[in-house]
């Protein structure tokens, strides 16, 4: 079921995917041009599912304007590979949404351009190694494989059966797993845990500035408040946050 959804979303993006070949120079120009349409196309691929779920129309005839969003660190192909891996790690399944809906890839991309910039190269090397192995053994890049095939490759990475990683397969896997969890369960300010799907998944009732004994007793039955730390004006970067344009900030809702 999951795979079908994924394939559906990809077929919607078929033209984008074709354009997205690293060997296609026009794609590079498009990225550099970074107009609204180009940025939208990138975000569609990077996070294919969320935007696709949002709209069946991603072609240029659409009247919808996708949110402004860049890939800050990852290449389009890296983002696509990473999205497929995150789908395996925290799947969207019969138990509910996963890393895809939380937009863990969006989080990781942003983090690789900022706090985790030291891991940027490890990601490039590792994601490339996974696709190389997928092509060598299955003739296709990782995202094109069936779920079982993808899972067996990830097991091989985790257990150091495949080479080409920094520091090794297990180390790369652990980093990727850790970042995927961060991107699924972090404060939504950072671009992951969109719509609070991660916190809802764990029945975490949310950040509160105070918790009464009654709150604690209610535990997971407490109504989730769906608030970021930075919904509280105390913690925003500026003392007067009313001047911040809501459109300019990170939309985590």
Which stretches of the chain bind another protein, using CB under 8 A? 88-91, 93, 95-96, 98, 115, 151, 154-155, 177-178, 181-182, 184-187, 189-190, 198-199, 201-205, 207-213, 215-217, 219-220, 229-230, 232, 234-235, 239
For another protein, give the closer residue by CB, 163 or 234. 234
Closest distance of CB 144 from another protein, Å: 20
Instruction: Identify the CA nearest to 14 among candidates 48, 43, 55, 37.
Output: 48
CA angle 38, 43, 241 (to 5 degrees): 105
CB of 208 to another protein, least distance (A): 6
Closest contact distance (angstroms) between CB of 112 and another protein is: 13
Burial class of 65 by CB neighbour count within 10 A (0 to 12, 13 to 18, 19+): exposed
DSSP state at residue 109: H
Nearer to another protein, 21 or 235 (CB): 235
Query: 93 is written with which tokens?
Result: 């399944």
User: For another protein, which is the closer residue by CB, 65 or 216?
Assistant: 216
Q: Which is nearer to another protein, 128 or 151 (CB)?
A: 151
Question: Min. distance of Cβ 140 from another protein in angstroms?
Answer: 21
Minimum CB distance to another protein smaller for 169 or for 198? 198
Q: How many Cα neighbours within 13 Å face the side chain of 206?
A: 19
Q: Are 73 and 82 in contact (CB under 8 A)?
A: no
Q: Rounded distance, CA 112 to CA 239, Å? A: 28
Number of residues assigned to the chain? 253
CB of 25 to another protein, least distance (A): 37
């Amino acid at each position: 079921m999951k795979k079908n959804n994924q394939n559906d979303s990809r077929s919607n993006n078929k033209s984008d995917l074709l354009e997205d070949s690293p060997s296609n120079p026009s794609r590079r120009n498009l990225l550099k041009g970074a107009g609204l349409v180009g940025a939208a196309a990138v975000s569609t691929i990077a996070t294919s599912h969320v935007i696709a779920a949002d709209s069946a129309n991603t072609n240029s005839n659409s009247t919808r304007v996708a949110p402004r969003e860049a890939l800050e660190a990852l290449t389009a192909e890296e983002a696509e590979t990473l999205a497929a891996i995150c789908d395996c790690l925290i799947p969207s399944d019969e138990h509910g949404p996963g890393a895809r809906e939380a937009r863990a890839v969006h989080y990781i991309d942003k983090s690789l351009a900022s706090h985790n910039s030291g891991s940027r190269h490890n990601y490039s090397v590792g994601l490339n190694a996974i696709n190389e192995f997928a092509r060598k053994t299955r003739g296709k890049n990782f995202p094109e494989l069936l779920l079982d095939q993808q899972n067996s490759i990830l097991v091989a990475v985790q257990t150091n059966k495949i080479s080409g990683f920094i520091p090794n397969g297990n180390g790369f896997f652990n980093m990727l797993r850790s970042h995927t969890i961060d991107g699924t369960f972090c404060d939504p300010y950072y671009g992951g845990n969109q719509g609070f799907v991660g916190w809802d998944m764990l029945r975490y009732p949310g950040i509160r500035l105070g918790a009464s004994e009654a709150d604690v007793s209610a535990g997971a039955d407490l109504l989730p408040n769906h608030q970021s730390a930075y919904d509280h004006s105390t913690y925003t970067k500026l003392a007067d946050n009313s001047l911040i344009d809501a459109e300019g900030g990170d939309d985590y809702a």
